Amino acid sequence: MTKTATLLRLLKTGYLTIIGTNLVGIYLHGSYVMHAYNESVSDLDYIVVVRQPLSFSTKSQLLAYTVNQLWPLSPKKGLEFHVLLLKDTHHFVDPLPFDLHFSQMHYQEYLMNNTEYISKMQGVDPDLAAHLTIINHFGQVLIGPPVKTVFSPVPEAVYWQSILFDINDAEREIVNQPMYVILNLCRALAFKNDHLITSKLSGGQWALTHLSNTKYQLINAAISDYTGTGASKALTCYSSRELQDLANHMLKLIRQ
């Protein structure tokens, strides 16, 4: 059994034990369901749907299990999940509220003060429109009823706004995370031009055949870094100015 297969098995059995009959289902989205999953660069994305809000005790058990049992098996970027209420997934509103959220970005904050983290980590998240769109089109059921009986459609305009929100700081962030930002920009442009819902990888592959040759090498380098097919990190050959020029060029195409 592969590491990811073991992770998914423990995710399913552990969450079911902790949440019990309140659990509706666990639904996978992101690169894993879009045939672009790479343990060395990806995270594992999933949505947990419940009938009633989780108690503080249940949230505490869930996060402790996630950090102690699941995290050692997780891919490079860890795990990212939201806990959503069934009434909200049945009737989508924007922005969608969540009962709990966790990702690699929150890992250290949780370790520093898990009580405070659990107490405050609820609210709304504009990214959920994109996550639920992926689930509706490509999602996999880890446990629970079929996707179409749990999730209502996300309006296309709301999905587009979620994409724009995700690339809002692209010009600045491309210097720090060039691979992810470049492929996110490609994904955004693929949707704008051809209404394609893509992964980062397939968005990059789309861009190779739709952008000018002057941008080909940078995008191809991002794909190479993502798939691990290059001999070394291909994007390290490019300057901050070259990266920012690409971001500016693609943002103009996306926003025009």
SS (H, E, C) 161-224: HHHHHHCCCHHHHHHHCHHHHHHHHHHHHHHHHHCCCCCHHHHHHHHHCCCCHHHHHHHHHHHH
In this structure, the strands spanning 44-50 and 96-98 are unpaired
Residues 6+ apart with CB under 8 A from 176: none
Euclidean distance between CA atoms 113 and 107, whole angstroms: 10
* pLDDT greater than 70 at residue 230: no
Give the model's pLDDT for residue 1: 66
Kindly report the average pLDDT of the chain as a whole number: 95
Phi, psi for residue 50 in degrees, rounded to 5: -130, 160
Is there a contact between 81 and 47 (Cβ–Cβ < 8 Å)?
A: yes
Residues 6+ apart with CB under 8 A from 113: none
Residues 6+ apart with CB under 8 A from 178: 222, 235, 238, 243
Closest to 139 (Cα-Cα) out of 130, 189, 185: 130
Domain chopping of the chain, boundaries: 3-154, 167-255
pTM of this structure: 0.93
The percent of residues above 90 in pLDDT, for the chain, comes to 93
Closest to 180 (Cα-Cα) out of 46, 74, 36: 36
Query: Using 50, 70 and 90 to split pLDDT, how confident is the model at 115?
Result: very high
Closest to 214 (Cα-Cα) out of 184, 188, 246: 246
Give the model's pLDDT for residue 229: 67
Euclidean distance between CA atoms 69 and 172, whole angstroms: 35
Closest to 177 (Cα-Cα) out of 146, 156, 205, 200: 200
Is there a contact between 69 and 18 (Cβ–Cβ < 8 Å)?
A: no
Give the model's pLDDT for residue 211: 87
Instruction: State the DSSP code for 32.
Output: G
Element (H, E) at 29: strand 23-29
Q: ∠ CA(142), CA(145), CA(148), 5° rounding?
A: 105
Closest to 134 (Cα-Cα) out of 183, 198, 58, 79: 198
- Average pLDDT estimate for 99-104: 99
Give the model's pLDDT for residue 210: 92
What does the buried/exposed string (b/e) look like for 140-170 if buried means 16 or more CB atoms within 10 Å of the residue's CB? eebbbeebeebbeebeeebbbbbbeebbeeb
* pLDDT greater than 80 at residue 231: no
Query: Using 50, 70 and 90 to split pLDDT, how confident is the model at 249?
Result: very high
- Average pLDDT estimate for 57-69: 99
Query: Using 50, 70 and 90 to split pLDDT, how confident is the model at 174?
Result: very high
